[in-house]
Amino acid sequence: MADLVTLLNTENVVREAARGTISDMPRLVVSRSGGVAFQTIGQSFVTVQVNSVMLDNKSRWDAANFSWVVPETGTYEVNGKIRLADGDYSGLSYGIGMDIVNQDNAGFFWGQGARHRQGLFNSRIINLASGDRLRLYAYIDNPAGVGVTNAELNAVRIA
């Protein structure tokens, strides 16, 4: 019976330690939304101007540059999404990425527009180093540009 009590006590200690570690992992949720476009994006890779911090447990959001200064080296799950202004953008190519540079790369997700309401979601696992600047960026293949009405960037360290 004493061995069982020791085992249960050890299990509780391990669970508490793991709970503290998980809750202390760097986490970020920033967004921007509204009924009208807050930014126009066209044929260049542009950082999306998300500015409403909902969660940043390490206080590393750089509002002036719309980027997160990564607090710890590790593996992160990163999610981004944008919604374009309502309109008929049939055949429009557009994409979003979350990375430390604004460019087309393996993690940049391309989509193609249908009609009227359009949005794009990208989820990836990425290795980031402490001090890297994570940002949400987009490219929209329209020379006149298209308005973005909603956007969100989420990141959490998973390893």
pLDDT at 149: 93
**Domain 26-157 belongs in CATH node 2.60.120.40:** yes
Residue 87 reports pLDDT greater than 80 = no
The model's pTM is 0.81
Predicted local confidence at residue 20, as pLDDT? 53
Helix (H, G, I), strand (E, B) or coil at 10: helix
Residue 11 binned pLDDT confidence (cut-offs 50, 70, 90): low
Using CA atoms, how far residue 112 sits from 51, 109, 139, 142, in Å, is: 26, 10, 12, 12
Q: Where are the domains of the chain?
A: 26-157
Q: Is the pLDDT of residue 78 over 80?
A: yes
The owner of tokens 């590393």 is 60
> Phi first, then psi: what are they for 14, rounded to 5°?
-65, -45
d(C-alpha 142, C-alpha 59), whole Å = 36
Residue 71: band (very low, low, confident or very high) from pLDDT cuts 50, 70, 90: very high
Give dist(CA 83, CA 39) in Å, integer. 11
CA dist., res. 147 & res. 85, Å (int): 5
pLDDT at 141: 86
